[in-house]
A and B are shown apart, each in its own frame.
Chain A
């Protein structure tokens, strides 16, 4: 069954301590992958779209990369305001031919000052 798996579930970093979040997926013919940030009590906020393996996108301290099997969200020198849950999502075509966006469970990032 197609699925999206994110790891770790939770990550605690000290301010300035760089790290990476992982999103792996099982889908034939990946057409794209989305990264979202979600703050408590709010809806997901769009960060990046990656369309093909080898693609990279950056925004401030965040850089998203994509391979054929997984995506990484690299966080360089994080600050406390980067604390949030980071979600990845992949479009799937179901066996019935319909399409939907499938989200991972997210990685809850906490950056301590």
Chain B
């Protein structure tokens, strides 16, 4: 069946470094993708989205890249801060990946 997955369950980075979180999807007909951030004790929150007619979209300190050829998207977080510690999910429609836990080392 269709699935959305992330490559790594945990990613540890130094404060101030850039973080890259990856996601693969299987539905070639997918045309809308979202990245969510879930902090401890809270529900997921929208970070940024991208449509299939785009390769890249930038927000504040975040960039999402979409490679439709290999059905892969990534979330880049610039100058990672302690507040970025959370679990990050990519979503394809109603389907979510299992999440990557981003840990920020001081």
* Chain A complexes with chain B: no
B interface, CB within 8 angstroms of A: none
